[in-house]
Each structure stands twice: as structure tokens, then as C-alpha cells.
Amino acid sequence: MLRINNIEYSYEKEKQKYQYDFSLKAGETIVISGVSGVGKSTLLDIIAGFLTANSGEIILDKIKLANLAPEHRPISILFQDENLFEHLSVEKNLGLAFSKAIIDKEKIAIALKNVGLMGYEKRWAKNLSGGEKQRVALARTLLRNKPILLLDEPFSALDKKTAKDMRLLVKNLVKQYKWHTIVVSHNIEDAVELNAKNYIMKNGILKKT
Amino acid sequence: MLLTKGIIASQKRKIIMLIIALSISAFMTLLFFSIINVGNIFASNTAVIKIDILQLILMSLMQASLTTILSLSAGIAIAWALNRLEFFGKNLVVSLFATAIVAPAMVVAFGLISVWGRAGWIAQLLEFFGLSWNFSIFGLGGILFAHTILNGAFAAHILLARVDAIPARKLKSAQSLALTPFKRFILLDWAAISGALPALGSIIFLLAFTSFPIVLMLGGGVANQTLEVAIYSAVRLSFDLDLAVKLSVIQLVLCMIIIFPAIISNSNLANAGVNYSYKWQQKGLAQFTQIIILVLAVFAFALPLLAILIDGIAGGILDTLSRPSFWQASFTSISIGSLSAILTLILAVLIATGRAAFSNGILKAILGLPVFAYLVIPAVVLSLGFYLLSNKLDIATSTSAPFVLIIANSLLALPFAIAILAPAIETINYRYDKLSRSLNLSSLMRWRIVEWPLIGREIGIVLALAFCFSLGDLGIISLFGTNEFTTLPYAMYQSLGVYRSNDAAVIAAFMLILCLMVFWFLPVIFRKISNAKN
């Protein structure tokens, strides 16, 4: 269970206060929508540790995450873009999932197969399409297999069909690997196709719809 | 109808730009032929000169290669440290390194002697503790030290902008992947800076290869002479124009070869914007190393500047300021600097606007020719060209000197000015050209309501850079300076020649303060003026 307990945050020189309070079970997905600049991505930054909340707690199965540096949190994060190092091959990008210098090629091949990119190891990240890049990033998430998955507008740069395929892929992987998944999105289809709970950010407060 | 008028106005603009670019290029060619026509450069040389020339070339190449390696290494290390560390006064440190591009080289060399010389601050400090100081700031070591301080700070400023521009999302991804400091450097920083290294390396190599005041002041003798200093010596000391011409042609050819990789590598030094939204600091050994690097860099760069200011104030400032010759030199320097800066701005705006208006690659390249002029034609060689041209046209050098200084300094600042203005003007052209043409805005109106409000700050930077370059020039004035026609750098060099180091210290401090004031305040003033009209 991931618990976001009464988190409050406000940016310097801004009066607006953002408040978040909810929980989600393993294998569950929530989609947070709302207009631009309303504080949706701020929540992901707080959970990932890029921002420090003014108050409140983030607890994953009794472990308090606030005490951990971003690099030590059990989290995978995917953005709309900039998820890959474009000057590296797919294999090297995926190799970053391993903490040791040795790259497990077999695991990489399996992860790529799971995201529908079998045999892509030697391709350059910069030569991939937008959808393929997101799939490679997702494959890296599989290899890391962290219990929390944060997705910040992950499908918004993709065409309609690719976005639909990606949603289906994410839905299946979340179910299979029991990730706690939080998606920030503008698109209403995301919640429906990810079989997710719907939340909306309004006037600085996150509410269930 | 309106659109047709707009297109005609645009065509006129293009033709004017092309004429200006061709005029500058033709002018350069004229100077070049003035140089090679003086003597038969292919005439057989004496054995002594052959050996000297070979040694000069080897010395120049070796010194420039070492400078490039050291400066790039220092620049990368400083940029890395500055990007990671957050501390009070960081903006001041970044601004300090930015002044490397405008701080007159001879002033910095003088500051280095004050700090590291036999009777300098370090020697005095060690003497206080009963220790001796055997390091000599004169010779190859001193030249490399001075070049690395100036060019390393310049490189750091350029590279920092690229590291700072790494997108926040990329940083967050890397942090969530728990990249080690080394992996982070290789995957993020190196990827961001490597594209700039060929161009930056070539520029630093050329700056070192054609360096004049530093080699002149810190060379410490014939063994460490470079081509640039040898040209000056040939004209000024032995009046051997044949030798000066030979050396100039060799210098030009080598410079053209050196700039070639920068042109074909297509790397650029344009600022990529800054990511203010996210900072990722890594603690431990990496942070300790960053602190050490930054402390050493600030110490190495700021100490000579501080020494100049303190020596200047302590060095009988009232005595120097009471001399009419000081004020005469100041008036000449400031007047020439101001006129040269205005001329640079006019040429740069016209060329950058012209380049933005052309989509044809060849025409763009023709308009870009002046961009590489300074990088290929060193100051002393350019000065020699003007000197020979004046002789050929039977114009007394005393008459031509002010005009030569204004034009030559302006041409030398042109590549830097265009590098600053061109990206901004191209962006404006991309966004507003069609709209301006459809509204049939005249060139003047377009300048007033579209370009000027958006590039006010860049205009301030160009004026400041051109003024400072001109103010600190010793290369051009070296062949035109006389007792009657003196600029501040020339007066400072003359003072050093007759061992009046107190006078030199005051002049150095005055030049440094003037450069820093202009460089820091002019862009701010221009940004405010242009924004007020926006």
C-alpha cells in the first residue's frame, strides 16, 4: 500500500498551497487530471524526492520515503520525453537499470520482448520513434522493477494508435508486476483505458472524482 | 500590393547586406595583397632565418597545443564544479569568469607578475615564513599559466551554459536511475559539452597561437617567441619588412588550416538556454573535488585582478593621474573604443540581419566570411597590412593611425559580435519576418518596433565587448603607436619598457575598472532602455 498522508507543498514566492491525501494498493493505478500549472506534476516530484514537502508523509508498506534521497527511492519515473540517452544504444540505455557494471543481456532481451521490441538492442535511441522510445523506457522500468511507477504525461507526445497500444501495455505490466502507479494526464482516455481511479486537481487540492 | 512592396524592401535589404559582406571581404583581400606584394616571399632565405622560422612555428604550435589542452581541461572542470555547487555569491563568480573574454590580456599578464613574480605577493608571503620562491613566471610556464587562466575561464563560461541547459527531465531520470557522479558526467555532461569542443578548442588554439601581449610580456626571451611577436619585432625593432611579410603569410596559412576543423565540424557555441527548474547535487568525494576545483580557479583568476587593483591604488595613483599624457591616452583609448564599438555594432547588425534574410547556403556563407576574419587574421598581421597599405598610399602613419585603429579593432570584434547577435536576429526573423512583410513595415520601422526591443541586451553586450577589445588592444597600436599618438595599453607597455612599473600599475587598474564597468553595466542599461520601448 502506498499512502500519501496530508502532503502539503508551496513554491517559494507563491501563495498557492498544494494538498494531497490518498492511498493506492499494489497493482492499482490512479490518473490525476487538471488544467496546466495546477500542481499535478508537483506531486510526482514530491513522491520521487525532487521536491521536499512542507508537511505530510509518504509511506510504502511501512517504509517512510521522505527520508530517502531520490536515487534511493523505490521508484521508476517516465516523462513525456527525455527518458533515454539519445547518444547511446537501446542496450546501453537498458543497462543503466543494473546497479553493477555487468549488463545482463538475457534480461534485456526478455524486457524488450515484453514491450514488443524484440531485437532492438543495438539500435540507437536517437533513431527510434516516439512510441519506441517510450517502450524502451518502459522496458527499463521492467528491469528495475521498482514498486512505484510515476508517469508524467507519458502518452501525450504519441499518435493516437501508439498511445492506445502503450496504455494497454502499461495496464498489463502494472497488473503483472503489482506496481503502485500514478499517472498525470490531460487525456480522459488514459483513465478509462488504464482501468484507473480518477482524481482531479482543483484549487490546489487533489480530489477523487 | 502590400506584400509585393514588402518583398521589394526585403530584396533591397539583402542586396545591401551582400555588398557590405563583400566589401569587408574585399578589404581583407586588399590588406592581404598589400602584405604579400611587399617582397618576394618565395625568395630564398638565409639558413639562419629558415631555422628561426621553423623554431618559431614549432614554438607557436607547441605553446598553442598545450594551452588548448590545459584550458579545455580547466574549463570542463570549472563548469562541472559550478554547475553542481550552490552557494552565496555564485552569480558573482560566474560573472567573474565571464570577464575573461574582455579583461585585457596585458593587464592580466601584469597581474600575474604582481602575484607570482620573483618580487610578487607569493614570494613575499613565503619570504615572511623564511622560505624561498624559485618559480619563474617568465618563459613557457608563465605563458601557459596566463593563457590557461584566461582561456580556461572563457571555456568554463561557454561550457557552463551548455551543462546548465541539460533539461530538468533528463536530470530527474538520471537521478532516479541513481547514476554515479562519473556516469552522470559521461552520460549527461559530456554529451552536452562535447559538441562545443571542436569549435571552442579551435578558437582557444587560435587565441593562443596569435597571442601577442602575453607572449611579449611573459615570454622572457627569444627562445619562447611566437610568430606574432616575431612579426612585431621584425617591423618595430629591426624594420625588416621582408621577414615580417614572410612570417605573416606563414601565420595566415597556419591560422586558416587551424580554423578548418571548426568550420567543417559544424559545432557551435550558441547558448542553449538555462534549466533553472532543477538542480541535483551529489555529495561525498565528488562534491569535495568540486569545492577544491572552484577554490583554486577563483584563486588563480581573481588574485591577479585583485593585485592589479591594489597595485594601481598603491602605486602613486595621484602622480600618474596628474600627468596630461595619461589623460591624453585615456581620451584616445575611450574615443577609439567608442567609435570602434559603434562601427562593430552597425556592421554586425547588418550582416546578421542579412544572413537571417537569406535561405541560400552559399550566400549565407559569403555573408559569414567576416565572421572568421579575426580568427584567421591575427591583430599584428592585420596591423601590418594597414601599415603597408598606408605606406603604399603615401599616407603618413600618424594621419592614418586613428582611422586604422577604429576600423581594425572593429573588424577584430566582428566575429564575436555576430556570434552574439546572429542567433537572436535569426529567431526574430523566423517569427516575425512574414508578419512584418505583410504589414509592409519599412526597414527603419521594423528595426524600431520589432528588432530593437527584442535584442537590446545583445546590443549592449556587443558594444561592451567591442569597446573592451579595443581598449585592451596592443596588437594594432604596436605598429602605429608613437609618443604623440598613444593609447592606454601602449602607454602601459612604454612605462614597463622604462621600468616605471608604478605608472603601468595605475594604467592597468584604470583599464581593468573601465572594462569591468562597461562589461557589467552596458548590457543592463541597454536591456532597460529597449524594454522601456517594448
CATH of the domain spanning B45-302: 1.10.3720.10
Query: In chain A, what residues touch B278 (CB-CB under 8 Å)?
Result: 50
Phi, psi values for residue A197, rounded to 5°: -80, 145
CA of A201 vs chain B CAs: smallest distance (Å): 22
Cell numbers placing B189: 555532461
- In terms of Cβ atoms closer than 10 Å to its own Cβ (0-12, 13-18, 19+), residue B435 is exposed
pLDDT given for residue B263 in this prediction: 63
Give the H or E element holding residue B495. helix B488-497
The superfamily in CATH containing domain B1-34+315-534 is MetI-like (1.10.3720.10)
Label the pairing between strands A75-78 and A55-60.
unpaired
Helix (H), strand (E), coil (C) string for chain A = CEEEEEEEECCCCCCCCEEEEEEECCCCEEEEECCCCCCHHHHHHHHHCCCCCCEEEEEECCEEHHHCCHHHCCEEEECCCCCCCCCCEHHHHHHCCCCCCCCCHHHHHHHHHHCCCCCCCCCEHHHCCHHHHHHHHHHHHHHHCCCEEEEECCCCCCCHHHHHHHHHHHHHHHHHHCCEEEEECCCHHHHHHCCCEEEEEECCEEEEC
B278/A50 touch (CB, cutoff 8 Å), yes or no: yes
Residues of A within 8 A of B190 (CB-CB) are: none
Contacts of B292 (CB under 8 A, 6+ apart): none
Position A181 scores a pLDDT of 95
Which candidate in B166, B175, B176, B193 is best for mutational testing of the A interface (most A CBs within 10 A)?
Answer: B176
CA geometry: angle A172, A175, A181, nearest 5 deg: 100
Distance CA A87, CA B186 (A): 11
Q: What is the mean pLDDT of residues A84-93?
A: 86
Of B486, B497, B469, the C-alpha closest to B104 is B469
Q: What is the pLDDT of residues B287-339, one digit of tens each?
A: 999 999 999 999 998 899 898 888 888 777 788 888 888 899 999 999 999 99
Interface test with A, best of B166, B177, B182 (most A CBs within 10 A): B177
Residue A51 contacts B, CB cutoff 8 Å? no
Task: Enumerate the residues of chain B whose CB falls inside 8 A of the CB of residue A73.
Answer: 176
Cβ-based contacts of B191 with chain A (< 8 Å): 85, 87
- The closest alpha carbon to A185, from A30, A26, A32, belongs to A32
Residue indicated by cell numbers 543481456? A105
Residues 6+ apart with CB under 8 A from B240: B234
Q: Give the one of B173, B178, B191 whose C-beta lies nearest to A77's C-beta.
A: B173
Query: pLDDT for A171-203, tens place per residue?
Result: 998 999 999 999 998 887 888 888 889 999 988
- List chain B residues with pLDDT less than 50: 1-7, 39-51, 532-534
Q: Do A71 and B175 touch (CB under 8 A)?
A: yes
- pTM of the full predicted structure? 0.78
Tell me, what DSSP letter sits at residue B277?
S
Interface residues of B toward A, Cβ cutoff 8 Å, are 167, 169-170, 172-173, 175-179, 183, 187-188, 191, 278, 280
Interface of A with B in 150-209 (CB under 8 A): none
0.90 surpassed by complex ipTM = no
Size of interface A-B (CB pairs under 8 A): 45
CB-count burial class (<10 Å; 0-12, 13-18, 19+) for B317: middle
Name the superfamily (CATH) of residues A1-72+180-209. P-loop containing nucleotide triphosphate hydrolases (3.40.50.300)
pLDDT at A21: 93
Q: What is the pLDDT of residue B48?
A: 42
CB A5 within 8 A of CB A153: no
- pLDDT value, residue B262: 65
Q: Nearest-CA neighbor of A166 among A139, A148, A144?
A: A139
Q: Which residues of B touch A50 (CB under 8 A)?
A: 172, 175, 278
| Cβ atoms of B381 and B453 closer than 8 Å | no
Q: Yes or no: say if A154 and A131 are a contact pair by the CB < 8 Å rule.
A: no
The ranges assigned to domains in chain B are 1-34+315-534, 45-302
Cα–Cα–Cα angle for A151, A156, A162, rounded to 5 degrees:
100
* pLDDT at residue B31, as a whole number: 60
Q: Select from B225, B74, B219 the least CA-distant residue to B156.
A: B74
At residue A207, what are phi and psi to the nearest 5 degrees?
-130, 150
- Amino acid making up residue B387: Y
Q: Which of A76, A81, A85 sits opposite B176 (nearest CB)?
A: A76
Q: Which pLDDT band, with edges at 50, 70 and 90, does A97 fall under?
A: confident
Residues A23-45: what's their mean pLDDT?
A: 90
Tell me, yes or no, if A75 comes closer than 8 A to chain B by beta carbon.
yes
Question: Cβ–Cβ of A79/B175 closer than 8 Å?
Answer: no
Touching check for A82 and chain B: CB below 8 Å?
yes
% chain A with pLDDT above 70:
99
Topology alike, domains B1-34+315-534 and B45-302: yes
H/E stretch holding B407: helix B397-438
* Overall residue count recorded for chain B in this entry: 534
Neighbour count for residue B409 (Cβ, 10 Å): 30
B400 to chain A, closest Cα gap in Å: 55
Task: Give pLDDT, residue B43.
Answer: 45
Other beta carbons less than 10 A from residue B343's beta carbon:
19
> What does the pLDDT look like over A110-162, one tens digit per residue?
999 888 889 999 999 889 988 899 889 989 988 988 999 999 988 887 888 88
What is the chain A residue with the closest CA to B278? Answer: A50
A11 lies within 8 A of chain B by CB: no
Outline where B99-136 has alpha helix (H).
105-116, 121-128
Domain segments of chain A: what residues? 1-72+180-209
Q: Are B355 and B21 in contact (CB under 8 A)?
A: no
Pairing of strands A29-33, A75-78: unpaired
Closest Cα of chain A to B203: distance in Å? 26
| Dist CA B361 CA B266 (whole Å) | 14
CA dihedral A49, A52, A58, A60 (to 10 degrees): 20
Cell output for B289: 573535488
**Residue type, position B468, single letter:** C
